[in-house]
Amino acid sequence: MATVLSLLLLFGCVNAPQPQIGGLYSVDDGEGWFRIAKVLVIDKQGVHVRLFKNRWKDRPISVDVSTLSLGTIHDKDGFGMGHLPLTKSAFQAWRPVLIKITNVADSELDGYKEWLRSGGGYFGQEI
C-alpha cells in the first residue's frame, strides 16, 4: 500500500497534506531512520525546517519536545540542522507524518533570516 501511495504522490495523482507552520513531523531520512523535522516557514517555493539529530528505527507517533536536540558536528551520533530550506517536493519525499503543532520561537528563525539576507536556494531544486 505504501508503494502505491508513493507512486501516486510522485506522479501527482494524490495531493499530499500541506505542511503546517510549527508542525513537528516524523520524517524518513532515507538511511533507515526516522527523525523529527519542525516546519518553521512555508513560502511559495518551499518548506523551511529545523531537523533534529534524534533518530528512531520505528516511526515515532509522539515526541517529548524537551528531548529534541540539534547537537553539533562533533557529536559521534550525528547532528541536526537549525535551518534547512527544502522544495515542497523534497519535503514530501521524506514522507512526513504530523505528530503535533507547536509554536515557532523567534530564536528558531535565525538561520532562516540569514538565508533570506543571503538570497539562498532550496535543497531539491533543479539547477
Evaluated on CA atoms 105, 108, 109, 110, the torsion sign reads positive
Residue 43 lies in a domain: yes
- The percent of residues in the chain predicted with pLDDT above 70, rounded, is 85
User: Would you say residue 9 has pLDDT above 90?
Assistant: no
| pLDDT tens digits along 16-38 | 678 999 999 999 999 999 999 99
Residue 37 lies in a domain: yes
Quote the number of domains for the chain.
Answer: 1
* Better-predicted residue by pLDDT, 52 or 77: 52
Q: What is the mean pLDDT of residues 98-104?
A: 97
Residue 126 lies in a domain: no
User: Would you say residue 10 has pLDDT above 70?
Assistant: no
11 C-beta neighbours (distance < 10 Å), count: 8
SS3 50: strand
Q: CA nearest 41: which of 125, 127, 122, 124?
A: 122
Supply the range of the domain harboring residue 106. 16-118
Residue 25 lies in a domain: yes
Report the alpha-carbon distance of residue 40 to residue 83 in Å, rounded: 8
